[in-house]
Amino acid sequence: MISEDDATRKAIPVYDGFIRYFPRAMAEVALHSKESNEQHNPGEPMYWNRQKSMDQKNSAARHVLDRAIQENADPLLMDSARVMIKIQRAIAWRELAQLEIMLEEEHENT
């Protein structure tokens, strides 16, 4: 949770330091969330089903392997740059999930 202290909250440049830096990446990660929700929870409203999504580090590492395999593939056999983007956004989602979990744990222990 972001601090309830007004000065502390205002010192966090959410828009200038994140949204303005990465608008396309944020949209891709949001699209990954939507597509993954449809895959794992078809027809249900979007939510992070943490019982189905618990192993962030190993999942991220597997996506990194997917990226390495694609990078080493014959360029004539590669589908497109979109394949690489889908892999990278899955890595980003998993890394953000791990960071969120760590921050939640830190908050619980303070």
Boundaries of every domain in the chain = 6-108
Neighbours of 41 (CB within 10 A): 14
Percent above pLDDT 90 for the chain? 70
More confidently predicted of 106 and 3: 106
Q: Can you give the C-alpha Rg of the chain in angstroms?
A: 17
Nearest to 89 by CA among 38, 14, 22, 39: 22
Neighbours of 82 (CB within 10 A): 8
Q: What is the pTM of this model?
A: 0.87
